[in-house]
């Protein structure tokens, strides 16, 4: 620490939710002009820690000091006042308002009691420029921006509040490699300006590239602090999960000559988002969807699942053309399809409902006779799933929203596995979940494939595509631009084809997004 | 808080605080009433109140189903009146009409509900709009039918028997009917796939849809049930009063919504138990009864009635604050 006086200190912070200890005597000190990374599995207490810092929750005990004097925050506004601004994992923008409206939303400039639109626009432009996103028009509506652009707006919004400590909680999880690189540039500049940055991410390579200081959390405590770069990746992961960390990706089986195609698409098109997509997924195959974010991957999965109206082209299952008009048709036994949706909180789960109700929700027809639920059958299937996926929960009758992110995701997957699907579509299933759970999901995916399932897997994480997939289809502007098979799947090839440039010409791209 | 909860019996600890509060308010009302007159605690009075509550209970059962979906059914007033008038009207068509009077009345309510359901589920019209519209249309049709005068047909003997008879000594039939309908609703909500789907849609329609639930059909069925139960409530009321009346349903819209919400069902959908609705119905019926026994003028009754509902909603109707 070079004897630098910490700008902000937390000592002995504890927080309990009901019987669950989220934080237990946690310590943290933050120095001005540095980037401090916080690592830990989901449920390790990182989110609670920063919520305490940002005034969102009040700690049960412990003290916080800012500039050496003790502080406590009654609300997020009080924390903002003190110069602590947080960018949360969940986006907090209002889609119907413009970018400028969103940036100044908590404290708009006023003239005669009315919002001064000129000043507002100026502030927004400055903030966007400072966030390295000057290309976003301040008067554009947030709902018209893709997810990655919204994230940039989110950062600009935080900067407009003139923070001394800026907290980024998984702020890059929705971003593509180019955007991440841009943001890193911004963050480094902010560090030069003397800001203290707290950076939370599950992407190890990002942390290695960016952080000065790292603190690892496990079970609500800080277990280790070290200067960035002084520990190897596997040492860090061992600290995080508290056990030996071996091969994160399961071995791929040797490829058979030609797998029997289970799912096939012929010239699928939908508005301007999908453009003549043709593909096959064979039994026992894990096929990845790559490319930059928002190139039609999500729409493609939704198209298979019967959600999109006005789709043209053909979908074949087991070689026979099928009409899939709705998710209930897609999950029907004759097709046996499952979709693990993108956002588990709004699309995968009913958060206030119990773990039990969520687990059996997609298989209600399987567990009932004449519409009446057979509780014994339901219980048996649920027990099987909880065991198979090692779902950690304090009981089946607590709200699923009380589980950690990784366990919530397991519930989403379990509720579909209960139907024993033959075709599994996964939409970025590891977003925002911890290393330990990710590893379990990779193994599960391979296990399903080995049992004969056809798996179509979209991920924004290139490492995952490389580690998990037998083949990867790279989408660009709604069309399949390239198919990579086996050893061809490399980071270099993925990035090059994602940008729709030829692999040979992509030399200077090396290291980008790594 | 934990100390108190720890000493409570198990069923109380597991119960929804809103339901417990509603039952506590019922006891409080009875206590306050008994200060005014001992007769408030007599079995005859209580049974009479339970009978009056049954009509509201039947109607609120359907309303609860719709509110659990996060929707609302504002067509209750004229669904009630349509059920009553059509059942009475059928009675004018000879013995067959008399026999079919009750099912016909209910069927008319189901038809109104189906129109509501199609509007909400398939045409994506906000339920607040479509149900108001069908209410107006039903009103118009009934006015056309009666020519604007109070209807001349009278209730059939079967309707009167259901509303006022005693199949079991000392227990009014209306109470038995409410109990049967309530039991069926509890079973549907807790033990069937339909019930799970209702809660799922109320919590997060998108997640329910992506789980392969036919959400549109569930919404449609819920509105049809609500319309049918409103009409059935009307049939019972016609039996109680021996005939249908023009605006007989008007007094049931706010109470049915209030009963459901006071019973702890979230107005945004997805959360609530039938036991709470039972408590809400009894609470509202008692409140109305006590105010009228005290010979409060109508204006004063309305003011107190509304104030009490707002006060009780403030007491527990809001989601707990997220700050721990």
Cβ within 8 Å, pair B196-A373: yes
B210 with A357: Cβ contact below 8 A: no
CATH superfamily membership of A260-336+421-507 = P-loop containing nucleotide triphosphate hydrolases (3.40.50.300)
- pLDDT value for A170: 78
Are B199 and A350 inside 8 Å of each other by CB?
yes
Helix or strand or coil: residue A360?
Answer: coil
**pLDDT for the residue numbered A256:** 63
- pLDDT exceeds 80 at position B73: yes
Q: Locate the domains of chain B by residue range.
A: 45-250
Cross-chain Cβ contact A350/B200 below 8 Å: yes
DSSP A291: S
So what's the pLDDT on residue B11? Answer: 55
Domain ranges of chain A: 8-241, 260-336+421-507, 344-420
The alpha-carbon gap from B115 to the nearest alpha carbon of chain A, in Å, equals 23
| Residue A370 at interface with chain B, using a CB cutoff of 8 Å | no
Q: What is the mean pLDDT of residues A407-427?
A: 94
On the question of a common fold for A8-241 and A260-336+421-507, the answer reads yes
Residue pair A495/A473 in contact (Cβ under 8 Å)? The answer is no
Which residues from chain B sit within 8 angstroms of residue A57, using beta carbons? 323-324
Residue A504 has pLDDT above 80, yes or no: no
Q: What is the pLDDT of residue A90?
A: 62
Q: How far is B209 from chain A (nearest CA, A)?
A: 7
pLDDT at residue number A509: 39
Q: What is the pLDDT of residue A247?
A: 61
- Nearest by Cα to A490 from A467, A457, A508, A459: A467
Give yes or no for a contact between A476 and A501, defined as CB atoms under 8 angstroms apart.
no
pLDDT digit string (tens) for A93-127?
A: 888 999 999 988 888 888 888 888 889 999 999 99
State yes or no: pLDDT of B317 exceeds 70.
Answer: no
- Chain B residues inside the 8 Å CB shell of A305: 210
Mean pLDDT within A354-359: 95
Rounded to the nearest angstrom, the minimum Cα separation between B213 and chain A is 6
Q: Flag if B207 and A348 touch (Cβ within 8 Å).
A: yes
DSSP per-residue codes, A149-217? HHHHHHHHHHHTT--SEEEEESTTTT--HHHHHHHHHHHHHHHHTT-EEEEE-S-HHHHHHH-SEEEEE
Question: Which tokens sit at B160?
Answer: 């009167």
Other Cβ atoms closer than 10 A to A366: 16
Which residue shows structure tokens 């091969």? A247
Report percent pLDDT > 70 for chain A: 92
Residue A250 CA to residue A465 CA, distance in Å, equals: 13
pLDDT tier at A133, thresholds 50, 70, 90: confident
Asked whether B279 and B19 are in contact (CB, 8 A), the reply is yes
Contact (CB, 8 A) for B248 and B84: yes
Residue B181 has pLDDT above 80, yes or no: yes
> A342, A364, A400: which to substitute to probe chain B, counting the most B Cβ within 10 Å?
A364
Burial class (CB in 10 A: 0-12, 13-18, 19+), A478: buried
More confident residue, A406 or B106: B106
- Asked if A350 contacts A434 with a C-beta cutoff of 8 angstroms, the reply is no
pLDDT of residue B323: 34
The pLDDT of residue A418 is above 80: yes
pLDDT value at position B322? Answer: 35
A160's tokens: 């407009």
Residue A508, pLDDT above cutoff 60: no
Q: With beta carbons less than 8 A apart as the criterion, state whether A319 and A281 touch.
A: no
Judge whether A71 and A82 are in contact, CB under 8 Å: yes
- In sequence order, the 6+-apart residues with CB closer than 8 A to the CB of A194 are A32, A33
Listing DSSP states for B41-59 in one string gives GSHHHHHHHHHHHHHHHHH
Contacts of residue A13, defined as CB under 8 A and 6 or more positions apart, other chains included, come to: A23, A25, A26, A27, A49, A52, A59, A61, A62, A63, A64
pLDDT for A220: 83
Q: Are B232 and B106 in contact (CB under 8 A)?
A: yes
A115 vs chain B: nearest CA distance in angstroms? 30
| Cβ–Cβ under 8 Å, residues B145 and B237 | no
Number of neighbouring beta carbons within 10 Å of residue A383: 12
**Does the pLDDT of residue B162 top 70, yes or no?**
yes
CB contact under 8 A, B270 and A330: no
Summarised one tens digit per residue, pLDDT across range A317-347 is 999 999 999 999 999 999 999 999 988 888 9
Of residues A288, A327, A304, A305, the one with CA closest to residue A428: A288
The SS3 of residue A477 is coil
Position A20 scores a pLDDT of 64
Q: How far from B71 is each of A21, A354, A375, A481, B279, CA to CA, in Å? A: 38, 22, 29, 45, 21
CB pairs under 8 A between A and B: 82
Answer yes or no: are the C-beta atoms of A53 and A167 closer than 8 Å: yes
**Quick check: A89 pLDDT over 80?**
no
Report field, pTM of the whole predicted structure over 0.90: no
Would the pLDDT of B4 be above 50?
A: no
- Read off the pLDDT band of B178 (50, 70, 90): very high
- CB spacing of A368 vs B192 below 8 angstroms: yes
Tell which wins on pLDDT, B7 or A211: A211
Chain B contact for A379, CB < 8 A?
no
Instruction: Indicate which of A344, A361, A363, A374 best probes the interface with B, i.e. most B CBs within 10 Å of its own CB.
Output: A361
Between residues B314 and B219, which one has the greater pLDDT?
Answer: B219
pLDDT at site A449 = 93
SS (H, E, C) A85-107: EEECCCCCCCCCCEHHHHHCCCC
Cβ atoms of residues B103 and B228 within 8 Å: no
pLDDT, mean over chain B: 88
Residue B205 near residue B80 (C-beta atoms within 8 A): no
Residue A2 confidence (pLDDT) above 70 = no
Q: Render pLDDT for A145-187 as a digit per residue (tens, 0 to 9).
A: 887 788 888 888 888 888 999 998 877 766 767 778 888 888 8
Main-chain dihedrals φ then ψ at residue A81, nearest 5 degrees? -55, -40
CA distance B229 to chain A (A): 21
Q: Are A126 and A133 in contact (CB under 8 A)?
A: no
Contact A429, A409 (CB under 8 A): yes
Mean pLDDT of all residues belonging to chain A: 86
Is the pLDDT at A292 greater than 70? The verdict is yes
**A17: chain B residues, CB-CB within 8 Å:** 324
Return contacts of B263-267, CB within 8 angstroms, 24+ apart: B263/B18, B263/B19, B263/B22, B263/B64, B264/B16, B264/B17, B264/B18, B264/B19, B264/B21, B264/B22, B264/B316, B265/B64, B265/B67, B265/B68, B266/B67, B266/B202, B266/B319, B267/B67, B267/B317
d(CA B118, CA B208): 19
**CA B319 to CA B32: how far, in whole Å?**
29
pLDDT in tens, A405-414: 889 999 999 9
The mean per-residue pLDDT over the stretch B149-168 comes to: 86
Q: What is the CATH architecture assignment of A8-241?
A: 3-Layer(aba) Sandwich (3.40)
Q: What is the pLDDT of residue B2?
A: 43
Q: Check pLDDT > 70 for residue B169.
A: yes
Asked whether the beta carbons of residue B210 and residue A350 sit closer than 8 angstroms, the reply is no
Average pLDDT over residues B224-240: 97
Chain B residues contacting A, CB < 8 Å?
A: 191-194, 196-197, 199-200, 203-204, 206-214, 270-271, 323-324
Mean pLDDT, range A77-83, rounded to an integer? 88
Q: How many residues does chain B have?
A: 324
């Amino acid at each position: 620490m070079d004897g630098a006086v910490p700008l902000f200190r937390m000592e002995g912070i504890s927080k309990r939710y009901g019987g669950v200890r989220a934080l237990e005597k946690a310590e943290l000190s933050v120095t001005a002009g540095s980037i401090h990374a916080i690592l830990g599995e989901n449920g390790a207490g990182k989110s609670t820690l920063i919520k305490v810092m940002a005034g969102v929750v009040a700690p049960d005990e412990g003290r916080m000091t800012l500039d050496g004097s003790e502080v406590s925050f009654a609300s997020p506004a009080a924390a903002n006042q003190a110069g602590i601004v947080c960018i949360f994992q969940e986006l907090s923008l209002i889609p119907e308002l413009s970018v400028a409206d969103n940036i100044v939303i908590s404290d708009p400039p006023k003239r005669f009691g009315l919002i001064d639109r000129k000043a507002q626009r100026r502030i927004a432009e400055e903030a966007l420029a400072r966030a390295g996103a000057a290309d976003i028009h301040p008067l554009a509506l947030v709902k018209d921006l893709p997810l990655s652009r919204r994230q940039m707006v989110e950062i600009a919004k935080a900067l407009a509040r003139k923070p001394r400590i800026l907290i980024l909680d998984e702020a890059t999880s929705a971003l593509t490699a180019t955007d991440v690189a841009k943001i890193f540039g911004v963050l480094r500049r902010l560090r030069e300006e003397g800001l203290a940055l707290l950076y939370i991410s599950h992407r190890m390579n990002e942390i290695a590239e960016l952080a000065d200081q790292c603190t690892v959390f496990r079970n609500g405590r800080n277990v280790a602090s070290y200067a960035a770069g002084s520990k190897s990746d596997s040492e860090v992961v061992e600290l995080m999960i508290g056990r030996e960390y071996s091969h994160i990706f399961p071995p791929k089986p040797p490829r058979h000559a030609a797998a029997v195609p289970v799912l096939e698409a012929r010239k699928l098109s939908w508005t301007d988002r999908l453009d003549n997509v043709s593909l096959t997924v064979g039994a026992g195959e894990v096929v990845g969807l790559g490319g930059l974010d928002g190139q039609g991957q999500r729409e493609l999965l939704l198209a298979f699942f019967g959600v999109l109206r006005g789709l043209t082209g053909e979908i074949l299952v087991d070689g026979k053309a099928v009409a899939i008009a709705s998710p209930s048709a897609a999950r029907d036994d004759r097709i046996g399809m499952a979709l693990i949706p993108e956002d588990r909180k709004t699309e995968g789960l009913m958060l206030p409902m119990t773990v039990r109700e969520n687990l059996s929700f997609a298989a209600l027809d399987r567990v009932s006779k004449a519409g009446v639920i057979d509780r014994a059958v339901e219980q048996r299937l649920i027990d099987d799933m909880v065991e198979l996926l090692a779902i950690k929960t304090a009981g089946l009758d607590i709200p699923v929203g009380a589980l950690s992110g990784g366990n919530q995701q397991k519930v989403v997957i379990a509720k579909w596995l209960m139907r024993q699907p033959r075709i599994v579509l996964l939409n970025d299933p590891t977003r925002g979940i911890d290393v330990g759970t990710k590893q379990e999901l990779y193994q599960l995916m391979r296990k399903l494939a080995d049992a004969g399932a056809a798996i179509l897997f979209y991920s924004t994480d290139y490492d995952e595509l490389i580690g998990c997939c037998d083949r990867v289809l790279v989408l660009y502007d709604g069309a399949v631009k390239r198919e990579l098979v086996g050893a061809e799947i490399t980071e270099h090839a993925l990035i090059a084809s994602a940008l729709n440039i030829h692999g040979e010409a992509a030399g200077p791209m090396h290291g980008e997004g790594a | 808080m934990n100390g108190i909860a720890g000493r409570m019996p198990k069923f109380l600890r597991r119960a929804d605080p809103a339901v417990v509060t509603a039952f506590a308010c019922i006891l409080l009302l009875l206590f306050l009433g008994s200060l005014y007159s001992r007769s408030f605690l007599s079995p005859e009075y209580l049974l009479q109140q339970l009978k009056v509550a049954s009509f509201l209970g039947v109607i609120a059962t359907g309303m609860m189903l719709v509110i659990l979906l996060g929707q609302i059914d504002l067509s209750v007033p004229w669904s009630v009146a349509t059920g009553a008038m059509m059942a009475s009207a059928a009675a004018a068509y000879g013995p067959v009409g008399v026999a079919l009077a009750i099912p016909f009345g209910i069927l008319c309510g189901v038809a109104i509900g189906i129109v509501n359901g199609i509007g909400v589920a398939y045409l994506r019209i906000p339920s607040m709009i479509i149900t108001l519209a069908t209410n107006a249309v039903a009103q118009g049709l009934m006015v056309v039918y009666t020519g604007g005068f109070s209807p001349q047909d009278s209730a059939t003997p079967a309707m009167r028997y259901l509303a006022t008879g005693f199949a079991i000594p000392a227990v009014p039939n209306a109470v038995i009917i409410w109990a049967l309908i309530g039991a069926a609703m509890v079973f549907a909500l807790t033990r069937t796939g339909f019930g799970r789907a209702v809660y799922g849609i109320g919590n997060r329609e998108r997640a329910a849809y992506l789980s392969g639930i036919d959400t549109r059909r569930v919404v449609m069925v819920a509105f049809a049930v609500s319309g049918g139960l409103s009409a059935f409530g009307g049939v019972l009321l016609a039996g109680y009063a021996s005939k249908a009346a023009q605006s007989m349903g008007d007094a049931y819209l706010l109470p049915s919504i209030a009963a459901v919400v006071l019973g702890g069902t979230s107005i945004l959908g997805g959360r609530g138990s039938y036991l709470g609705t039972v408590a809400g119905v009894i609470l509202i019926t008692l409140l109305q009864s006590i105010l009228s026994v005290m010979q409060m003028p109508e204006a004063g009754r309305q003011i107190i009635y509304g104030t009490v509902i707002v006060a009780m909603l403030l007491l527990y109707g809001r989601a707990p604050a997220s700050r721990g």
